[in-house]
Amino acid sequence: MNILRHYIILALTLIVLTNCKAQKPTKMSKKNTIEQKINTLLSQMTIEEKVGQMNQYNGFWDVTGPAPEGGSAEKKHEHLRKGWVGSMLSVRGAKEVRAVQKIAVEESRLGIPLIIGFDVIHGYKTLSPIPLAEAASWDLEAIKNSAHIAATEASASGINWTFGPMVDISRDARWGRVMEGAGEDPFLGSKVAAARVKGFQGDDLSATNTIAACAKHFAAYGFSESGKEYNTVDIGTSTLHNMVLPPFKSAVDAGVRTLMNSFNEINGVPVTGSSYLQRDILKDEWKFDGYVVSDWASINEMINWGHAKDKREAAKIAAIAGSDMDMEGNVYIEELTQLVKDGVVNESILDDAVRRILRVKFELGLFDNPYKYCDETLERETIGSQKNHDAVLDMAKKSIVLLKNENNLLPLKKEGKTIALIGALANDKTSPLGSWRIASDDETAVSVLEGMQAYKGNILTYAKGADVTIGKAEFIQEVKINTTDKSDFEEAINTAKQADVVVMVLGEHGFQTGEARSRTNLQLPGVQQDLLEEVYKVNKNIVLVLNNGRPLAITWADENIPAIVEAWQLGTETGNAVAQVLYGDYNPSGKLPMTFPRNVGQVPIYYNYKNTGRPTDKDGNVFWSHYSDVENTPLYPFGYGLSYTTFKYSDLKLNTTSAVIGEDISVSVNVTNTGNFNGKEVVQLYIRDLFGSVTRPVKELKGFELVELKKGETKTVAFTLNKETLGFYNNDGKYIVEAGDFKVFVGGSSNTSLETTFELTK
């Protein structure tokens, strides 16, 4: 009997054990296993090998910054063999990545795989619109999908870590990198940041088609003084906590695995050396357990800033401040080991950094199979697939913003007309690819000319009018603009004379925005304004299609040209997207993620400004906050964008006019499609907190929804305001919700006037 009992118990135990084994590992158990593996590995590492994990080298061809001293290929190879390199950037291609990975894994003592980083900013080879344009779609699913497509192509090409998304808020159109972010607003910016992180990383970082994301540049790079690249930043705590940090927090909450710090200083401290940002806020308060990479040699640059005496001091400051990995600066690899041996930097700092770096490598599955991203067949099948082209075309159409459409000049009739297409950019297959597109090939975008040629019912004539650039524009060179040559004007004018409608594609070359592309002039570059005015003299039926990576001050065009389409740089499928919108096969629904100024003197200009003590000219005299030569309003406000149809907003309602802090407030509004086309509208909700212990902006976006409405259809759109949206960060960086009076605005732009009120009580 006893023996039988014994057998039964044994059998039951076996069943339980077998079931346990068969069960999928939970997230928690996976995490524990990874932490144990990290401990084991860390205990075997020498100081040099730990420093090695914190060292990142650029690969051997795509250069995205100034070359460091002594960064030869021989040295890099030798360091790979010694296990002194934790990551490489800008090595790409399944074969090339396999080659460097093989050295790290098979020739170094511990065989720790490399993490391979790359600037996958708006696609890898098949390109989506530039990020600012994507943000104009306000379509979070599409943005997420665009990042997913980018991850699919990049991961098939050996890459497992992107230096994106850039989540810097910026209010300064002069700054070239506004093209790389989501614009001026922290609420929209936070949503877009989360969507991009989820798109890149997916649900499972160890899948072969997902890559680790990197929220950059931590922090406040977008507030570079006077929009000048790499410049100082001097902002107050309120701006830091309420404008700059929220998108980073959102990225961290969405699970972003890495952050990149930045070239700028804030209030006298280079952010690369800021413990406050990297340790106190990011790692302690936000509990971020991934790692921080420096920007390209930003640790060294603390010497030029006048913050560190030499490389040794720079390495010390950065490591202690929580910069875990040195991008191509050679500072950690040269200095950190000795700093630890001298007792200046505690080895626990290294352990913390290495733990973070190894954690991400384990999560990516690189220890299970270091070559998992190196499948050349998959690479061939994935890159440039029809599915990817379809996805970027979809994203491109969604990113277009209709700025003006007098007398319904658009959409164009499909038959029986003569259309003149004018502008060098209309026939350009490289510029539409934008700025951050180092893996893509020149001449691979569908030009607007090609896109329009697909519509056969009209006669299409083309004339260049004028070159935008002199010679070929390059990623690492200053772009030279044609400011004198008007020799092709005449042909363009004659072409325009004979047309029913003129489509003019004007604006910036793709390489006029992006890193190190600040401008002090926001007008159409070169002779293009003159060209526009000359053509206008002979034919007023002009559709201006803008190509640009930043808001432009196109005041004359707004006053004179009947139809204006903001087409940014839309990536590989640019021409098809533009043509489908111009011909009405796609009804545009984009809304501006950044305010367009009337002139550069208004910059920085943004919708969520402070009221000031003298907001109006109530006494009719001069003593109020204004300019004497231009009005305060922008040319086009944040959130603005038209459709081929029209929308009417009505019945704005709240469930209560008085709520206790902590209670939700429900908002609803009816939106009706009152025009002649089916269409989509981004319904936007703004609040104004009328009095605060820290003054509040005149409007703050707190909700939006993209709704699709058939002709004549009405939908009720509902929002909830709660303590996450009704509070703000005070000057101690603490989030608070205060009692008081609020306004609520709902509409299709930040300048909506449909409003109601409520109060919050204690």
Active-site residue numbers?
295
Least gap, CB of 63 to ligand NOJ (angstroms): 9
How far is residue 584's CA from residue 363's CA, in Å, rounded to a whole number?
A: 46
User: DSSP 3-state helix, strand, coil percentages of the chain (rounded to 5)?
Assistant: 35, 20, 45
515 in contact with ligand NOJ (CB under 6 A) = yes
- Name which of 229 and 738 has its Cβ closer to ligand NOJ: 229
- Name which of 439 and 524 has its Cβ closer to ligand NOJ: 439
How far is residue 19's CA from residue 571's CA, in Å, rounded to a whole number?
A: 51
How far is residue 523's CA from residue 333's CA, in Å, rounded to a whole number?
A: 46
How far is residue 448's CA from residue 438's CA, in Å, rounded to a whole number?
A: 22
DSSP characters for 661-682? TT--EEEEEEEEE-SSS-EEEE
Least gap, CB of 163 to ligand NOJ (angstroms): 3
Least gap, CB of 360 to ligand NOJ (angstroms): 16
| Residues within window 359-398 making contact with ligand NOJ, judged by CB under 6 A | none
- Name which of 259 and 493 has its Cβ closer to ligand NOJ: 259
- Name which of 436 and 638 has its Cβ closer to ligand NOJ: 436
# chain residues binding ligand NOJ, by CB under 6 A: 9
How distant, in Å, are the alpha carbons of 132, 192, 216, 441 from that of 138?
A: 10, 8, 20, 28
Q: Is the peptide bond before 217 cis (omega within 30 degrees of 0)?
A: yes
Please answer whether residues 584 and 644 qualify as being in contact, where contact means their C-beta atoms are separated by less than 8 angstroms: yes
Q: Which of 55, 56, 64, 337 binds ligand NOJ (CB under 6 A)?
A: 64
Least gap, CB of 325 to ligand NOJ (angstroms): 12
Q: What are phi and psi of 508, to 5 degrees?
A: -95, 145
How many Å from the N-terminal Cα to the C-terminal Cα in the chain? 71
Sign of CA dihedral 650, 655, 656, 661: negative
| Residues within window 280-309 making contact with ligand NOJ, judged by CB under 6 A | 295-296
* Helices 386-399 and 574-582, packing angle to 10 deg: 50
Least gap, CB of 345 to ligand NOJ (angstroms): 25
Least gap, CB of 57 to ligand NOJ (angstroms): 12
- Name which of 57 and 758 has its Cβ closer to ligand NOJ: 57
How far is residue 688's CA from residue 291's CA, in Å, rounded to a whole number?
A: 37
- Name which of 64 and 382 has its Cβ closer to ligand NOJ: 64
Least gap, CB of 720 to ligand NOJ (angstroms): 36
How far is residue 443's CA from residue 510's CA, in Å, rounded to a whole number?
A: 12
How far is residue 759's CA from residue 762's CA, in Å, rounded to a whole number?
A: 10
How far is residue 489's CA from residue 439's CA, in Å, rounded to a whole number?
A: 35
Least gap, CB of 251 to ligand NOJ (angstroms): 15
- Name which of 296 and 586 has its Cβ closer to ligand NOJ: 296
Helices and strands: H and E segment counts in the chain: 23, 26
DSSP characters for 410-462? PSPPSSS-EEEEE-GGGG-SSGGG-SS-TTSPTT-SPPHHHHHHT--SSEEEE
* Helices 140-156 and 386-399, packing angle to 10 deg: 150
Task: From 357, 318, 286, 348, select the one nearest 115 (Cα to Cα).
Answer: 357
Sign of CA dihedral 613, 614, 615, 618: positive
- Name which of 64 and 250 has its Cβ closer to ligand NOJ: 64
Residues in contact with 139: Cβ distance below 8 Å, sequence separation at least 6, in sequence order: 398, 706
163 in contact with ligand NOJ (CB under 6 A) = yes
- Name which of 119 and 335 has its Cβ closer to ligand NOJ: 119
Q: What are phi and psi of 56, to 5 degrees?
A: -120, 130
- Name which of 117 and 637 has its Cβ closer to ligand NOJ: 117
Please answer whether residues 158 and 91 qualify as being in contact, where contact means their C-beta atoms are separated by less than 8 angstroms: yes
- Name which of 251 and 682 has its Cβ closer to ligand NOJ: 251
Least gap, CB of 326 to ligand NOJ (angstroms): 13
200 in contact with ligand NOJ (CB under 6 A) = no
Reported as type and span, the H/E element at residue 36 is: helix 27-44
Q: Which of 54, 76, 101, 119 binds ligand NOJ (CB under 6 A)?
A: 119
Q: For ligand NOJ, which residue has the nearest CB?
A: 64
Please answer whether residues 168 and 117 qualify as being in contact, where contact means their C-beta atoms are separated by less than 8 angstroms: no
131 in contact with ligand NOJ (CB under 6 A) = no
Least gap, CB of 65 to ligand NOJ (angstroms): 5
Q: What are phi and psi of 293, to 5 degrees?
A: -105, 145
Reported as type and span, the H/E element at residue 58 is: strand 55-58
326 in contact with ligand NOJ (CB under 6 A) = no
How far is residue 508's CA from residue 486's CA, in Å, rounded to a whole number?
A: 17
| Residues within window 74-93 making contact with ligand NOJ, judged by CB under 6 A | 89
Reported as type and span, the H/E element at residue 708 is: strand 700-709
Least gap, CB of 523 to ligand NOJ (angstroms): 27
Q: What is the DSSP letter of 162?
A: E
Q: What is the DSSP letter of 627?
A: -
Least gap, CB of 89 to ligand NOJ (angstroms): 6
Least gap, CB of 281 to ligand NOJ (angstroms): 20
- Name which of 278 and 587 has its Cβ closer to ligand NOJ: 278
Binding letters toward ligand NOJ, positions 639-658, x by CB under 6 A: --------------------
- Name which of 221 and 638 has its Cβ closer to ligand NOJ: 221
Q: Which of 52, 59, 65, 322 binds ligand NOJ (CB under 6 A)?
A: 65
Work out the burial of residue 689: count CB atoms within 10 Å of its CB; fewer than 13 is exposed, 13-18 middle, 19 or more buried: buried
Reported as type and span, the H/E element at residue 78 is: helix 73-82
Q: Which of 92, 196, 198, 216 binds ligand NOJ (CB under 6 A)?
A: 216
Residues linked to residue 260 through DSSP beta bridges, in sequence order: 216, 293
Chain residues binding ligand NOJ by CB under 6 A are 64-65, 89, 119, 163, 216, 295-296, 515
